[in-house]
Amino acid sequence: MFNFPKPLQVDDYERVRQKAIDYYSGKVISLYERGTVRHPGISDIDLMVVVDGRIEQIDHDIDTSLLVFPRKHFEHINVWDDDNPKLLWGENIGILPEHRPEVGIARIVDWLPERIVRLSEMKEINVSWALAVIKGVCYSLQKLKEYGVDNNYCSQVWELRDEWFNLPRTKQERGIAHLVSGGIEAGINGLRVFSDVACDYYGDSDINGELLIPLNTKYIFNGKLKAEGSTIQLPRFFGKHFHTYAKESGLISREIARHMSGNYSPPGRMEGVLGERISLCNHWAEFLIQHEMSGLYKFGWYYTELHGYRRGRSANII
């Protein structure tokens, strides 16, 4: 195991916020913070800026991500996730609430398999990263509670994160190892329950297919549910979800299509919502490419590959 988190204080995060406010004020339309800092030293800071052109990112001494958005359509970000970000500076853009069940279904399909495979591919545990990923698994599992998915795993995750800096190293190691393997099992079990519900939204499929995600991760749509290494096997109708993204026009859609096999029928009741989601993602990506910036909100792994290729180097600056 490596990369154990170091304890920090709430004031350390406040300094990062103030540094960001001091730097970005007057340069952006709005500056938001996404999520919460419940566990100083474990939590990172996710900042979101709304801009009308290129900006430069500043460095921080705490892990900080910066997501960049154009002003147009920012109010629709809840079509992707129910973030409800906190305004730190600038225009308070009215983010529209989103309660359609199709949006909730799409969120699970997009993120729970990816979280599971990130745990499955950990040959050596990067502890800080693992603590973030198991939280991501719980984010999806909590949304499956209404379908009868047991949240006992999530209780263990919150307990470990709450007590992390009070534990000796041996208990930290045992705890994170247990929750990495347990997260794979809990995630697969959650997908099994979820799939029975989601199939009614998508319609069944008998088509096999694959989707390759950069960094050698693979989704196989073959009707099974199993994660092994960097590969996860999923119900066939999950292929309809990503095929819908792939058939739209736009940078991210083309990248998904380039990495996918399988010719699927339309995804039933999900088609409209999936079209809205990928249209937003394509719009954000095209804005970033135009202004030579990184910081895409969703499907960043495809954008990083594309952006790095276009610029001849990795896309690691804003």
Q: Where are the domains of the chain?
A: 1-98, 100-202
Task: Name the burial class of residue 76, with classes exposed (0-12), middle (13-18) and buried (19+) by CB atoms within 10 angstroms of its CB.
Answer: middle
Per-residue pLDDT at 146: 83
Per-residue pLDDT at 20: 93
Residue entry with tokens 């001091």: 22
Work out the number of other CB atoms within 10 angstroms of the CB of residue 25. Answer: 12
Work out the number of other CB atoms within 10 angstroms of the CB of residue 9. Answer: 10
Amino acid, res. 17:
R
Helix (H, G, I), strand (E, B) or coil at 90: strand
Work out the number of other CB atoms within 10 angstroms of the CB of residue 305. Answer: 18
Per-residue pLDDT at 310: 42
> In the chain, which residues have pLDDT < 50?
309-318
Residue 128, C-beta contacts closer than 8 angstroms, at least 6 positions apart: 3, 4, 5, 42, 63
Phi, psi of 296 (to 5 degrees): -75, 135
Q: How far apart are CA 118 and CA 112, in angstroms?
A: 10
Per-residue pLDDT at 305: 61
Per-residue pLDDT at 312: 35
Q: How far apart are CA 145 and CA 151, in angstroms?
A: 7
Per-residue pLDDT at 195: 95
- What predicted TM-score, i.e. pTM, was given to this entire model? 0.92
Within a 13 Å sphere around the CA of 258, how many CA atoms are in the beta-carbon half? 12
Do 36 and 43 form a contact (C-beta atoms < 8 A)? yes
Do 270 and 244 form a contact (C-beta atoms < 8 A)? yes
Q: Does domain 1-98 have CATH number 3.30.200.20?
A: no
188, containing H or E segment: helix 169-202
Work out the number of other CB atoms within 10 angstroms of the CB of residue 117. Answer: 24
DSSP 95: P
